[in-house]
Amino acid sequence: MALTDSHGREITYLRLSVTDRCDFRCVYCMAEDMTFLPRAEVLNSDELVALAEAFVALGVRKIRLTGGEPLVRPDLVEVVTRLAALPGLDDLALTSNGARLAGQASALREAGLQRLNISLDSLQPQRFRELTRTGRLDDVLAGIAAARAAGFRRIKLNSVILRGRNDDEILDLVDFARREGLDLAFIEEMPLGRISEHDRALTLMPSSEVLATIASRHALLPSLENSGGPARYYRMADSDSRIGVISPHSNNFCASCNRVRVTASGRLLLCLGHEEGTDLRALLRGRPGDREALMAAIRAALPAKPERHQFTLDEPPQVVRFMNMTGG
């Protein structure tokens, strides 16, 4: 039976966070000094699989693994193998910062992972380091190459553009995507978690400006392809790459929202921009193996899914969760 919220939206997509930890400290995502969850609080592989089974039984057809950085989780390949074997799951995807993909891309592909998103905000090594605080551009470029060599198709890059920080690289990122045969989505920064590294009100770069910059060099044709998600896609006549924009500030996409999230600690979050949620870990641990109880709890939580997010740039931010907690 379909999972439907009180606004008539059918939920078919789960974003499942497998860890809150990360080897990067991206300036828009985290504070420099982060405290991560004790390991015992993070769902183990059996719990992740039990959750996925319950969601699939409720009509979810797509799961994206995220975090934190999924590839820092030692048993990730096992998790992927088990999820890929679930009957009824049509699409298993993962979002990664790419730094560890060179060593893991083929194992993930062989385990049954179907699609990959890789985050890349700069093609300049020094700037890449500044934006991620710890990352090495070369590792990510090697990760992208390994993912292509492993046979992943339609790999999508995600770039968060910050005014004054990397907005001069929009065309370079587009050229890179065209050259490498990748899709590319530009994301507006969201006010999730309190950061002091920059003032989000000053760095916000609306998608309209990103599109105008690209259109100064490439004619963009609106594409009818839509993944049911928040991205609006464009095509270029002379390239197979799709260019997308995800505009949580400037273009509210909540009316077509088909997704929920589960954090690394098993909290069901109904909307990225709200704190409403339900602790599923207590149930997973209190009544292991009781799929019916889990399905009932998920169903019972759904009516509280908010109609829409309303991001403001007020301080302190309304949502205190950092993106790595939420599962981006």
Member of 67, 244, 273, 277 binding ligand SF4 (CB under 6 A): 67
The residue behind tokens 């997509």 is 13
- One-letter amino acid of 26: C
66 binding partner (options ligand SF4, ligand SAM, none; Cβ < 5 to 8 Å by kind): ligand SAM
Q: State which residue, 233 or 297, has the beta carbon closest to ligand SAM.
A: 233
Find the shortest distance in angstroms from Cβ 223 to ligand SAM.
21
Q: Which does 25 bind (CB under 5 to 8 A by kind): ligand SAM, ligand SF4, none?
A: ligand SF4
- Using CB under 6 A, pick the residue from 5, 20, 53, 69 that binds ligand SAM: 69
Q: Which is nearer to ligand SF4, 104 or 119 (CB)?
A: 119
277-279 vs 62-67, strand pairing mode: unpaired
Shortest distance in whole angstroms from residue 128 CB to ligand SAM = 13
Residues whose CB is less than 8 angstroms from the CB of residue 8 and which lie 6 or more positions away in sequence, other chains included: none
Number of residues forming the site for ligand SF4 (CB under 6 A): 13
What are the structure tokens assigned to 320, written together?
A: 């205190």
Q: Name the residue with the smallest CB distance to ligand SAM.
A: 328
Vertex 251: Cα angle to 250 and 257 (nearest 5)? 135
The answer to the question of residue 188 lying near ligand SF4 (CB under 6 A) is: no
Q: Using CB under 6 A, pick the residue from 49, 55, 67, 135 that binds ligand SAM.
A: 67
By CB under 6 A, which span of 63-71, 169-177, 298-306, 312-320 interacts with ligand SF4?
A: 63-71
Nearest-approach distance from CB 325 to ligand SAM, in angstroms: 9
Nearer to ligand SF4, 30 or 54 (CB): 30
What are the b/e assignments for 195-222, b being 16+ CB within 10 Å?
bebeebeebbbbbebbbebbeeebebee
Closest CA to 155 of 145, 163, 164: 145
First to last CA, the chain: 27
Which of positions 116-175 make contact with ligand SF4 (CB under 6 A)? 119
Binders of ligand SAM: how many residues, by CB under 6 A?
Answer: 19
In 3-state terms, what secondary structure has residue 221? Answer: strand
Q: CB–CB of 269/253 below 8 Å? A: no
Can you count the helices (H) and strands (E) in the chain? 11, 12
158 binds ligand SAM (CB under 6 A): yes
Name which position in 3, 11, 16, 22 contacts ligand SAM (CB under 6 A): 22
Q: Does 324 bind ligand SF4 (CB under 6 A)?
A: yes
Closest CB to ligand SF4 among residues 30, 246: 30
Q: Which two three-digit tokens encode residue 106?
A: 């083929």
By beta-carbon proximity to ligand SAM, the closer residue of 81 and 326 is 326
Report the distance separating Cα 7 and Cα 303, nearest Å.
8
Cβ neighbours of residue 259 under 8 Å, at least 6 residues apart?
11, 12, 13, 14, 15, 229
Backbone angles phi, psi at 263, to 5 degrees: -75, 170
What is the chain's length?
328
Q: Does 25 contact ligand SF4 by CB under 6 A?
A: yes
What is the DSSP code (8-state) at residue 112?
T
**Per-residue interface string for the shown chain with ligand SAM, residues 186-215, x marking contact by CB under 6 A:** -x-xx-x-----------------------
Whether 30 and 193 have beta carbons less than 8 Å apart is answered as yes
Residues near ligand SF4, by CB under 6 A: 22, 24-26, 29-30, 67-69, 97, 119, 323-324
Residues near ligand SAM, by CB under 6 A: 22, 28-29, 66-67, 69, 95-97, 119, 158, 160, 187, 189-190, 192, 323-324, 328
